[in-house]
Amino acid sequence: NAGVTQTPKFRILKIGQSMTLQCTQDMNHNYMYWYRQDPGMGLKLIYYSVGAGITDKGEVPNGYNVSRSTTEDFPLRLELAAPSQTSVYFCASSYEGKLPTEAFFGQGTRLTVV
Amino acid sequence: DAKTTQPTSMDCAEGRAANLPCNHSTISGNEYVYWYRQIHSQGPQYIIHGLKNNETNEMASLIITEDRKSSTLILPHATLRDTAVYYCIVRLRNDYKLSFGAGTTVTVRA
């Protein structure tokens, strides 16, 4: 199992450009999440999904969009990049059933908007 | 959700046990205590979680007080590779979202 895989690892965007951060997991997890982490801070939830076709906003969703067409993939879209979106983005997944379990995180995408 | 309070930082000697405290005085009966760590800006890594009983796995032990208002994560034999930011998180059984605070920066010294 590769776990949670994020691409790209690094990216520099110009203000106003758009891009998609890719996330895929091979553990057949039903739940997937996108977090962002600003320097020296904890992670903040952007969007999450409880299954294919179902997504919902987290704490900081403005400026982002997501989709979940398959169980494996959960891409994060930035439409009009702004300097405030400079951050490290982490994708995560978990299998949620009767009892709470652990979340697995990807290695992150480091995004700089200039 | 219940909030957690952790010390900002702590040092530990290599080979000794590291005891990381966490206060969650407003925790409710159906909230679990989770611990994750983040090594040098990598993705967070799950360590352990528990509801009210003490838990142990290959990485650590989790001690939860009887009133559940605080807990301690124990790394039995700290190594340099345990240097990381450790997050104590409280989550509801049916609320799968994790709320990360600032955590405790643990530095293991040789």
Each of the 114 residues of chain A gets a pLDDT tens digit; together they read: 789 999 999 999 999 999 999 999 999 999 999 999 998 888 999 999 999 999 999 999 999 999 999 999 999 999 999 999 999 999 999 998 878 889 999 999 999 999
Query: A88 and chain B: CB distance < 8 Å anywhere?
Result: yes
The predicted pLDDT at position A98 comes to 78
Single-letter residue type at B74: I
Chosen from A94, A102, A109, A111 to mutate, greatest number of chain B CBs within 10 A: A102
- Min distance A101 CA to chain B CA atoms (Å): 8
Residue pLDDT, tens place only, B14-57: 999 999 999 999 998 889 999 999 998 799 999 999 999 999 99
**Contacts of residue B99 in chain A, CB cutoff 8 Å?**
45
- Min distance B100 CA to chain A CA atoms (Å): 5
The predicted pLDDT at position A96 comes to 83
Smallest Cβ distance to A94: which of B44, B96, B101?
B96
Return the SS3 of A37: strand
Residue B73 clears pLDDT 80, i.e. is over it: yes
DSSP single-letter state for residue B92:
E
The predicted pLDDT at position B92 comes to 82
> What does the buried/exposed string (b/e) look like for A4-23 if buried means 16 or more CB atoms within 10 Å of the residue's CB?
bebeeeebebeeeeebebbb
Contact A58, A46 (CB under 8 A): yes
Query: A54 and chain B: CB distance < 8 Å anywhere?
Result: no
Verify whether the Cβ–Cβ distance B93 to A99 is below 8 Å. yes
- Please calculate the CA angle A74-B100-A21 and round it to the nearest 5 degrees: 25
Contact A50, A33 (CB under 8 A): no
Q: Peptide bond before A8: cis, by omega within 30 degrees of 0? A: yes
Residue in chain B closest to A34 (alpha carbons) equals B97
